[in-house]
């Protein structure tokens, strides 16, 4: 007959619970996995499976009891660390949505807003299209596997019960959020340059031939040029996004 003492039982539960909390916080903030299209049961089940695989690798001294004085502080630390790692990778996706807003505004498509089920907010056609592009680019570089590897490696570098993150690490993660606007502008730069040239040409045409109703043709011209530029710049945009996504995943990888 197998006898399991209370202390051993608490150690087993704690060894599973702490990695489960960190991984679940990471999944709820990481790109793709945090989307509303992924059911809550799938998120919880995936977090439980990864925690089950990580638990045997944790050192014994890291198994803080759930009812210990350090329990609440450890719980908050795991949630903050998981959320910080997931949101850092999500910066690139938010930047692409931002670039889509810029491109749609230049093309005159921002008035055609609709409810985006992926983000549970109002979206634009260009922003949604770029969101699909960055998602496919992320999957093409096995970003989902890199995320799982990063969260597993975090337990070795940032063990349970240790300091949440050193000051330098917090500074590095905060700088990633500041890169959102830079990434968004760089991704939308081709359409911004094309729309600038197109609008300058329309302005010159309006001065040369004032009898033409330039306003009636400007929308069609900017829309056509914007779509052509988006298609022409797609290979370069994907290449840029691939490098940026790899940078974001490596940023959170210990």
Q: Where are the alpha helices (DSSP H) in 28-114?
A: 40-54, 71-107
Judge whether 222 lies within some domain.
yes
Mean pLDDT calculated for residue range 58-67: 63
Cα dihedral 37, 41, 44, 46 sign: negative
Cα dihedral 76, 79, 85, 89 sign: negative
**Residue 7: predicted pLDDT:** 61
Under DSSP, is residue 123 helix (H, G, I), strand (E, B) or coil?
Answer: strand
Judge whether 127 lies within some domain.
yes
Judge whether 1 lies within some domain.
no
Cβ neighbours for 99, distance < 8 A, ≥ 6 positions apart? 130, 183, 184, 185, 186, 187, 188
pLDDT tens digits, 212-221: 676 677 777 7
Confidence band of 112 (pLDDT split at 50, 70, 90) = low
Judge whether 28 lies within some domain.
yes
Mean pLDDT calculated for residue range 109-129: 65
- The residue among 150 and 113 whose pLDDT is bigger is 150
Most confident of 5-14, 25-34, 56-65: 25-34
Residue 119 above 60 pLDDT? Answer: no
Judge whether 148 lies within some domain.
yes
- The residue among 88 and 180 whose pLDDT is bigger is 88
Residue 243 above 70 pLDDT? Answer: yes
The secondary element (H helix, E strand) that includes residue 121 is strand 121-123
- The residue among 179 and 241 whose pLDDT is bigger is 241
Residue 237, by phi and psi: left (phi above 0), alpha (psi -120 to 50) or beta? alpha
**Residue 35: predicted pLDDT:** 77
Q: Which residue range forms the structural domain that includes residue 32?
A: 6-252
The token duo for 111 is: 């008035």
CB atoms within 10 A of CB 55: 18
The secondary element (H helix, E strand) that includes residue 114 is strand 114-116
The token duo for 81 is: 């660390």
Number of domains within the chain: 1
**Residue 1: predicted pLDDT:** 44
Judge whether 206 lies within some domain.
yes
**Residue 22: predicted pLDDT:** 87
Confidence band of 164 (pLDDT split at 50, 70, 90) = low
Q: Poorest-confidence range of 132-146, 164-178, 197-211, 217-231?
A: 164-178
β-strands 114-116, 121-123 pairing: antiparallel
Beta bridge partners of 115: 122
């Amino acid at each position: 007959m197998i006898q399991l003492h209370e202390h051993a039982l608490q150690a087993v539960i704690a060894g599973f619970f702490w990695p489960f909390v960190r991984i679940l916080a990471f999944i709820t903030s990481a790109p793709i996995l945090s989307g509303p299209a992924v059911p809550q049961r799938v998120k919880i089940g995936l977090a439980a499976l990864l925690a089950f695989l990580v638990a045997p690798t944790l050192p014994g001294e890291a198994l803080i009891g759930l009812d210990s004085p350090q329990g609440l502080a450890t719980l908050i630390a795991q949630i903050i660390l998981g959320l910080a790692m997931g949101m850092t990778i999500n910066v690139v996706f938010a930047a692409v949505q931002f670039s889509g807003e810029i491109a749609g505004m230049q093309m005159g498509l921002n008035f055609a807003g609709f409810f985006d089920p992926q983000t549970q907010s109002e979206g634009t056609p260009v922003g949604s299209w770029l969101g699909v592009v960055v998602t496919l680019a992320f999957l093409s570089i096995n970003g989902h596997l890199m995320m799982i590897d990063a969260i597993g490696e975090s337990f070795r570098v940032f063990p349970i019960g240790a300091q949440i993150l050193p000051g330098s690490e917090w500074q590095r993660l905060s700088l990633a959020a500041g890169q959102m606007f830079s990434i968004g502008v760089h991704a939308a730069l081709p359409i911004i340059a094309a729309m600038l040239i197109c609008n300058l040409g329309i302005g010159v045409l309006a001065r040369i031939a004032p009898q033409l109703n330039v306003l009636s043709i400007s929308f069609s011209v900017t829309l056509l040029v914007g779509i052509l530029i988006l298609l022409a710049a797609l290979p370069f945009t994907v290449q840029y996004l691939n490098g940026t996504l790899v940078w974001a995943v490596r940023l959170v990888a210990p």
